[in-house]
Amino acid sequence: MTNQSEERNALSLPHSVFSADWLRQAESHAAQEIGISLFTLMQRAAVAAFHLARTTFPAAHHWLVLCGHGNNGGDGYEVARLAKSAGISVTLLAVKNAKPLPDEAQTAQNAWLSAGGAVGAADTRWPPDIDLIIDGLLGTGLASAPCAPYDALIVAINAHEAPVLSLDIPSGLDAEKGTVPGKAVQATLTISFIALKPGLLTGKARDHVGRLHCESLGLRSWLGGYPAVLQRLDATQLGDWLPLRRPCSHKGDHGNLLVIGGDIGFAGAILMASEAALRAGAGMVRVLTHKQHAGPILTARPELMVQELNEKSLSISLEWADVVVVGPGMGQKAWGKAAFKQVSESTKPALFDADALNLLAITPQKRQNRVLTPHPGEAARLLGCSVKDIESDRLLAVRKLTERYGGVVVLKGAGSLIAENGGPMALADVGNAGMATGGMGDVLSGIIGGLLAQQLSLFDAACAGAVVHGAAADRIALLQGTRGMLATDLLAVIAPLVNPDFKKKISPNESTTTLSAGRSRNA
């Protein structure tokens, strides 16, 4: 089947994300507190899933419903009953188990049988005309790789051409970590019940979740009384971080940013980071780089101030700067190491990326006024572990990074995580596969650095920067697709995103005097 995980509807999803383990434990308490049974919750889930399937695939006439031996299978029985009552042809296959079904799932199975439905064995040959698959095999309690016959069923689902709706979570995907310990369904749609879980948004989630929906089942108010494990971020929140500027503000109000890096052969990295900072709204950006790069960088972007990096220029520039970005294209030779040491001794707020992170891994240092932006490989070096260890539990990894190094950490990847030492955690639900190309991290560093220069807090700058970065890539993907996207493509769409409240439309006949009245002075 075709994986449609690039299709996102993130703007319609809730922003609070809750632990899957906690939700499983709290579900019965929630039902009791609002005065309904767990079976009523199951019925609500089935109604939501049925309507989503019917609305999305109105022409589907023969549904295959696959039920596991838990309450996820109970959801499947209820969906099957609703489909049958609507006149849809339904084939239901269930995994047999020596243990009895949970009470709610058994009630759902009995209702299906009473409605004239039949339960086939999971190894039954599938009818040839199936045009929709309902995945009710494994729920959020998965702790290891699916065993037989679940693994074979998952392989068969993925090999089939029919679209797939997964109930609560694609079978085989870890709801807490987003890992795939064995086989996992590649869903077309996933409907998460009660709340979003972390594993639907980070790790390998996008390879399996498809288009994500969430249905609270009437528990939204109840959930409001409990803390979320993290906040999901998207472009609708940019206005919370980025208000309109005062009309009389000037460049000095928007910060002096120093960007350091670009050893021989890596001028592109420092140029992309620096221009991204300007596009994000930094007042002034000074670049310290290898002397042979100064001319080409000035030619490419004359708004930058560019000097050769040496001990004297760095001392003067550190005194001038409000915020420092260090690492893009810096390398790990003596030239880069000397700059890294000097910056590490500074007390200025800073962002460390690329080779600055690799050098920090060699000489660990904890400080609170710094943002780190590692990809999984850099994170593994910083924690002295493997990339596999990082990806096996990204939420734990980002917390460990903040505990060891302090400040704020952005753990990059599909569903980038942002965490503050001793503080909140967030997930940037933006971006796409087109970002898997060189230079994207440099652009992110520049955006966050530019926002830090404008006096956003470390955590807010990291959150807003990650959202602007991913949302910019999403805008480019809408225009041209994901393959062939360049990091520099993002530069042209950063400015509209960092001005989320800019609504003014200028008519062709509007006078120059009228236009000038609302402009900030630029001297």
Residue 507 lies in a domain: no
* Residue 368 backbone dihedrals phi, psi, to 5 degrees: -95, -15
Is 523 inside any structural domain? Answer: no
Residue 168 among known ligand-binding residues: yes
Q: Alpha-carbon distance 245 to 505, whole Å?
A: 17
pTM reported for the whole predicted model:
0.92
User: Are β-strands 416-420 and 62-67 bridged in parallel, bridged antiparallel, or unpaired?
Assistant: unpaired
- The enclosing domain of 374 has a CATH number of 3.40.1190.20
Q: How many C-beta atoms lie closer than 10 Å to residue 118's C-beta?
A: 11
pLDDT score at 143? 83
- Judgement on whether residues 411 and 290 belong to the same structural domain of the protein: yes
Task: For residue 236, give the DSSP letter.
Answer: G
Does the annotation place 442 within a ligand binding site? yes
Q: Is 412 annotated as a binding residue?
A: yes
> Based on the domain organization, do 251 and 107 belong to the same domain?
no
Q: Which residue has the tokens 């609170």?
A: 368
What number of other Cβ atoms are within 10 A of residue 511's Cβ? 8
Question: Cβ neighbours of residue 116 under 8 Å, at least 6 residues apart?
Answer: 84
417-421 — which CB contacts under 8 Å span 24+ positions?
417/202, 417/230, 418/233, 418/459, 418/462, 418/463, 418/466, 420/458, 420/459, 421/368
- Reduced to 3 states (helix: H, G, I; strand: E, B; else coil), residue 216 is coil
pLDDT at 10: 62
Per-residue model confidence (pLDDT) at position 244: 87
Q: Which amino acid is at 206?
A: R
The alpha helices in 212-327, defined as continuous H runs, are 220-223, 238-241, 267-279, 294-300, 311-320
171 is in an annotated binding site: yes
Alpha-carbon gap, residue 167 to 190, rounded angstroms: 6
pLDDT in tens, the chain (523 residues): 433 334 455 668 999 999 999 999 899 999 999 999 999 999 999 999 999 999 999 999 999 999 999 999 999 999 999 999 999 999 999 999 889 999 999 999 999 999 999 999 998 999 999 999 999 999 998 889 999 999 999 999 999 999 999 999 999 999 999 999 999 999 999 999 999 999 999 999 999 999 999 999 999 999 998 999 999 999 999 999 998 888 899 999 899 999 999 999 999 999 999 999 999 999 999 999 999 999 999 999 999 999 999 999 999 999 999 999 999 999 999 999 999 999 999 999 999 999 999 999 999 999 999 999 999 999 999 999 999 999 999 999 999 999 999 999 999 999 999 999 999 999 999 999 999 999 999 999 999 999 999 999 999 999 999 999 999 999 999 999 999 999 999 999 999 999 998 764 434 444 333 333 333 323 3
What distance in Å separates the CA atoms of residue 423 and residue 408, rounded to the nearest whole number?
Answer: 9
Contact 477, 437 (CB under 8 A): no
Predicted pLDDT of residue 501: 84
Categorise residue 285: left if φ over 0, alpha if ψ from -120 to 50, beta otherwise: beta
What confidence score (pLDDT) does residue 9 get? 58
Asked if residue 129 is part of any domain, the answer here is yes
CA dihedral for 132, 136, 140, 146, sign (positive or negative):
negative
269 annotated as belonging to a binding site for a ligand: yes
CA end-to-end span of the chain, whole Å?
58
Give 143-148 contacts, CB < 8 A, sequence gap 24+: 144/181, 144/182, 145/172, 145/181, 145/182, 145/183, 146/171, 146/172, 146/182, 146/183, 146/184
Same domain for 286 and 217 = no
The CATH number that applies at residue 101 is 3.40.50.10260
Structural domain ending residue among the three candidates 167, 200, 228: 228
Q: How many domains does the chain contain in total? A: 2
Together in a domain, 337 and 224? no
Q: Report residue 57 as tokens.
A: 């695939």
The residues facing 256 across adjacent strands are: 284
- Residue-level pLDDT at 297: 96
Residue 327 falls inside a structural domain: yes
Domain containing 205 equals 10-228
- What pLDDT shows up at residue 199? 97
Q: Which residue has the tokens 């979570």?
A: 169
| Backbone φ/ψ region at 32: left (φ over 0), alpha (ψ -120 to 50), beta | alpha
Residue 159 in any domain: the answer is: yes
Q: Which residues pair with 371 in a beta bridge?
A: 351, 408
Question: Do 77 and 190 share a structural domain?
Answer: yes
Q: Are residues 189 and 114 both part of a single domain?
A: yes
Distance CA 394, CA 106 (A): 36
One domain, residues 414 and 274: yes
72 is in an annotated binding site: yes
**Residue 504: its pLDDT value, please?**
46
- Does residue 195 sit in the same domain as residue 213? yes
- Look-up of token digits 């889930």: 45
Q: Considering Cα of 51, then 53, then 57, then 59, what sign does the dihedral take? A: negative
Residue-wise burial string across 321-348, b where 16 or more C-beta atoms lie within 10 A, e elsewhere: bbbbbbbbbbbeeeebbebbebbbebee
Phi-psi region of 328 (alpha: psi -120 to 50; beta: other; left: phi over 0): beta
**Same domain for 193 and 268?**
no
158 is in an annotated binding site: no
Task: Examine the fold and report which residue of 203, 228, 253 is the final residue of a domain before the chain moves on.
Answer: 228
Q: Give the count of beta carbons closer than 10 Å to the beta carbon of residue 433.
A: 17
Measured in residues, the chain has a length of: 523
Question: Distance from CA of residue 85 to its chain's centroid?
Answer: 39
Q: Specify whether 348 is located in the same domain as 287.
A: yes
Residue 393 annotated as binding site: no
Q: Is residue 66 part of a domain?
A: yes
Same domain, 28 and 142: yes
Ligand-binding annotation for 87, yes or no, is no
Query: Quick one: CA torsion of 279, 285, 289, 292, rounded to 10 degrees?
Result: 80
- List CB contacts of 461: < 8 A, sequence separation 6 or more: 371, 448, 451, 452
- DSSP E strands in 329-486: the ranges are 350-352, 370-372, 408-411, 416-420, 425-428
Cα 458 to chain centroid, rounded: 19
* Cα–Cα distance, 230 to 217 (Å, whole number): 21
Domain end (from 228, 247, 272): 228
Cβ atoms 165, 53 nearer than 8 A = yes
Which strands sit side by side in the sheet containing 16-17, from one edge to the other? 16-17, 230-233, 425-428, 416-420, 408-411, 370-372, 350-352, 323-326, 256-260, 284-289, 305-308
pLDDT at 503: 62
414 annotated to bind ligand: yes
Instruction: Tell whether 397 is in a known binding site.
Output: no
Q: How many CB atoms lie within 10 A of CB 97?
A: 11
